[in-house]
A and B are shown apart, each in its own frame.
Chain A
Amino acid sequence: MSTTATLATTHRVLRQLRRDRRTLALIFLVPPLLLTLFRYVFDGQADTFDRVGGPLVGLFPFISMFLVTSIAMLRERTSGTLERLMSMPVGKLDLLLGYGLAFSVVAAVQAAITSAVAFGLLGLDTNGSIGVVVAIAIANALLGMALGLLVSAFASSEFQAVQFMPAVVIPQLLLSGLIVPRERMADLLEWVSAALPLTYAYDALAHVTQDGSLDAGLAADVGIVTACIALALALGAATLPRRTA
């Protein structure tokens, strides 16, 4: 373990992102704009907007970081920089932590901006603390990053990498309970949804924004999401081989 390598990587990733102004603008502006769109799509149904909008604030970072990581890691693999790093004295965990830290910072900013717009300007109601929503948003960003890292191993071009987004993200969003409560789904789908990490991320967010209480149910959801992040990162680390064919 080396904090120098981790922090150097965080610094480097943030610097790369900062150079790419357009990507940053998209990351920070698209979620609040989409929420504004939702607000007026559900113009006559304020409770529906309240039910869906709150959790969405915390789910956007999952989608953004999944995309950013799958492309960024694919570039590391194809440009040879990953091979260079793997031939240097640096641990895989140091690299992944560096990435995780960088994306947590970006996710925190994204969730803060989205929260400010949603709860401030759009009049979205939440019974829970906005700080907890942002904290869960960061966990979701890490989950997105870990899954993005994993799929980048199965993509050989950026075209393929972006196609993983609808394949991995949309089914999880549909089954999470965000659109339709899980108990109203076909039994088979309800079982499937119980095996998907985003279901627990949504559940935690719904919990906070609707009940507002910090109870055992919320702790269990966050625990499951954390375990999924660890599992996906471990699988992702296994896709960063020192040797390749």
Chain B
Amino acid sequence: MMNSTDTPIRIRDLHVRRGRRLVLPGVSLDIRGGAVTGLLGPSGSGKSTLLRSIVGVQIVESGEVSVHGLPAGSPDLRRRIGYVTQAPSVYDDLTVRENLRYFGRILGVDNERGEDALEIVGLRSRGDQIVGTLSGGQRSRVSLATALLGAPDILILDEPTVGLDPVLRRDLWRTFHELAAAGTTILVSTHVMDEAEKSDDLVLMREGAVVANGAPAELLARTSTHDIESAFMALAEAA
């Protein structure tokens, strides 16, 4: 039996309905601590809904989501989880630094943290630019920097690398692994296959169900395939 430090995120029989559609028809999943877990699936497969349920901003129908042994969304967890939504959620009419300063004050951290976060996402030179004038990719990085502010021990990232250039994408994944090595639990959704290969653990989702779950190498071995795309297809057809 694993305790909550090994698996800080535990999901049991989670049902989520959005409108008339049952988006998650009973998901159970454990996420390992101090690792980068990739959540791979086509759009509409329920990735965002699953992430929102873990953060505690999603209304769920039934089932259990616990984070550090507490029900998802508990006030005590708000300081410990960093969350990046798919669309960058920052103020377009403020500068990068003003955004970080505002959210930093809400989290009760000093301005130094903001500078560190800017460094991590490679936006230090853009600090005084109005967010609305940045490119889409830069805006997502501001959003990511905001999530890093509170030095959370769990980071939930919903497709944070969409539209980023490959070099920056590689750098960010490197950062994810560094943070994970320092003990942060990272759950990152993606639909890019080669990104998925870089995660420590991989969760494959299709139509609201977890099709497979394991280390990328293990999934390749299990399906006798050489790339994640083929493995995904083999597992999806078998399911």
Contact = CB atoms under 8 A, between A and B. Distances in A.
Contacts of A89: 75, 78-79, 106-108
Contact of B92 (A79, A83, A243): A79
B19 A8 contact: no
Interface in A187-210: none
- Output the residue of B19, B93, B107, B146 with the most chain A CB within 10 A: B93
Contacts of B103: 84, 88
B78 A245 contact: no
Interface in B88-105: 88-94, 98, 102-103, 105
B59 A243 contact: yes
A79 B132 CA distance: 12
A80 B87 contact: yes
Contacts of B81: 87
B102 A19 contact: no
Given A84-B83, A84-B85, A87-B81, A12 B57 contact: no
Contact of A15 (B73, B98, B108): B98
Interface in A79-121: 79-81, 83-90
A87 B59 contact: no
B92 A12 contact: no
Given A15-B94, A83-B85, A245 B102 contact: no
A4 interface: yes
B95 to A, nearest CB: 9
A244 interface: yes
Interface string A232-245: 00000000001111
A183 interface: no
Interface in A1-23: 4-5, 8-9, 11-12, 15-16, 19-20
Contact of A243 (B73, B88, B89, B94): B73
Interface in B70-84: 73, 75, 78-79, 81, 83
B31 interface: no
A233 B59 CA distance: 23
Contact of A88 (B90, B93, B106): B106
Interchain residue pairs A-B with the least CB separation, the first 4: A80-B89, A8-B105, A89-B78, A84-B89
26 contacts: A5-B105, A8-B102, A12-B94, A16-B94, A19-B93, A79-B87, A79-B89, A79-B92, A80-B89, A81-B91, A84-B89, A84-B90, A87-B55, A87-B56, A87-B78, A88-B78, A88-B103, A88-B107, A89-B78, A89-B106, A89-B108, A242-B57, A243-B56, A243-B58, A245-B18, A245-B58
